[in-house]
Structure 1
């Protein structure tokens, strides 16, 4: 029987809530819900709440529990009841989770906890160091030669590196665009461009031989090499940021003109400002200037109000930059749009 990170106190609703605002349930919120494969914490929260980032309050979680992974598995049954007049969600204790196998599905896939947000939308970003320090990057291992002195390298090719000190899988990168704060103009980091994976064959004192595995874009002689991190699993509780934490979108992945749902964006807030995975921000667009005609027939300038245009879920945090997934949007989201605590709907 696996250990659940959700404590018994949480399930019984004995901990203090993380937020004090009253919850408003959807009129069609289910009293019992069986978690299925493909579900996410955000999606399930949306079945109960118009404001899914209030999920911790529905679960009666305290601040410490919000910052820990929240494990819910396919086959678990969620039960909605009330305590002191407030809705409360918990795991049904009288239900034995069943794992049904099919020829196409492996047991470990069925027994994996659900993620906070769609895993396939963020998987590439979880195992790649997107933001690097240029000086540190420049002094690390590099790819120094390819097969037959060709510059372009393909999967399965034997290549040679310098500075690689460990066996295992490494990743090839080259420096990309600078991430610049739109207000201070400070360079917050440099986005690295991922090329592909390489596996060490032999470690020699000066030159190390490697075999090219997966190629995502292109692998080139001169690429920098970074040790491949272990696979990560994001299952962080969605929660709103401190009220005073505000920032801006500084980049859209691959430079797309206008991010939509399930696009990744970079924001100018990182660990230094208290960012952490699971934070949910509203995206706010400043209203444009318009000319209106008053009752006296005179023209004057006015500004349209600032409106919430979508929401972001932070899933990877660096020192001064964080990456977030656009979960919903009312139109395109652009570099320069502001982010702050989301508004209830």
Structure 2
């Protein structure tokens, strides 16, 4: 009886394997304008499947730079990149027409760091209608900001300054971490100040708190090939965040002044140190360790925000980034 049960269990375990082995995939030849995002969305109705396809094919350096003529085997629920020599019978099922556009959605607060120059231009809460020290939801306050930033009826996010951020390599002062406190709405304009009402409070709010327009956290971002190779450093992340991974937001020391644009792809690397046995050769330089890829989702003059799309291991402040043009 024990032998019979063992044989029965073995047969049951083999059934799904045999079923998968006989599955005939659809073979799709990549065309100009195709992307892993678009292919995943159209063939298996899951645009976020593409990181798995990307991760399993290290020769695909950028998710929007796969090449015409490459072939994909499309199964029920998964996609595989085929070696050039592999031949599988193609099904007669009609395939969707590829499109040139690709977009991502960036989630989470992008304003966890503020550069020194942007800090000087930000609005602030300067007073309230009485002499209270702390303010909270429903309180009326007065704020100062430039007329170009102010819009009656608009909502602004309230922040306090966190830790000073220095460059990991040069120790130069770059800006501060930001701690989100709540939101307010402008209600009226006066000669020197604007009236506002605090509509949300996550913590106590004080005079001097910063005001920034809400960051667009769920907008679609078109990928854009960088016009030049730029090299920078990951300098900050969300307060209290040490190790970063997929879907985390980070800040880099490249911006509009260097030619960086929203939609550019960044490669994240870390210099590889020689082993103890090789340190006798002082001129030995090893290739960098490839850590992952990130998408630029917001650009300021001297800094930018990037969303980590893929990480093979934890990413830290001080890791290096560069933009890719091919």
TM-score (norm 2): 0.62
Whole-angstrom distance in 2 between the partners of 1:218 and 1:30 = 47
1:251 aligns with 2:233: no
Seen in structure 2, the aligned counterparts of structure 1 residues 275 and 206 have a Cα distance that, compared at 3 Å, is closer
Seen in structure 2, the aligned counterparts of structure 1 residues 39 and 215 have a Cα distance that, compared at 3 Å, is farther
1:333: which partner in 2?
A: 315
In our comparison, the structure showing a higher alpha carbon Rg is 2
1:105-154 residue CA offsets vs partner (Å, 9 max, x unmatched): xxxxxxxxx983343x34x227x88445267347x442412766141x33
1:117: which partner in 2?
A: 104
Q: Which runs of 5+ in 2 are unaligned?
A: 1-30, 69-93
Residues 312-331 of structure 1: pairs in structure 2 closer than 5 A: 312-331=294-313
1:199: which partner in 2?
A: 185
Q: Which runs of 5+ in 1 are unaligned?
A: 1-12, 60-76, 81-88, 92-113, 294-298
1:39 to 36, 43, 47: 47
Residues 75-224 of structure 1: pairs in structure 2 closer than 5 A: 79=96, 89-90=98-99, 116-119=103-106, 121-122=107-108, 124-125=109-110, 130-131=114-115, 133=117, 136-137=120-121, 140-145=123-128, 149-151=132-134, 153-155=135-137, 157-163=138-144, 166-168=151-153, 169-205=155-191, 208-224=194-210
Seen in structure 2, the aligned counterparts of structure 1 residues 280 and 231 have a Cα distance that, compared at 3 Å, is closer
**Which aligned runs of 4 or more in structure 1 are off by greater than 6 angstroms?**
29-32, 229-232
1:310 aligns with 2:295: no
RMSD of aligned residue pairs (Cα, Å)? 4.4
Which secondary structure state, in structure 1, belongs to the residue aligned with residue 120 of structure 2? helix
1:274-331 residue CA offsets vs partner (Å, 9 max, x unmatched): 11111112111112242228xxxxx946776421011111111111111111111122
2:256: which partner in 1?
A: 271
- Give, in angstroms, the shift of residue 58 of structure 1: 5.5
Whole-angstrom distance in 2 between the partners of 1:117 and 1:266 = 18
TM-score (norm 1): 0.59
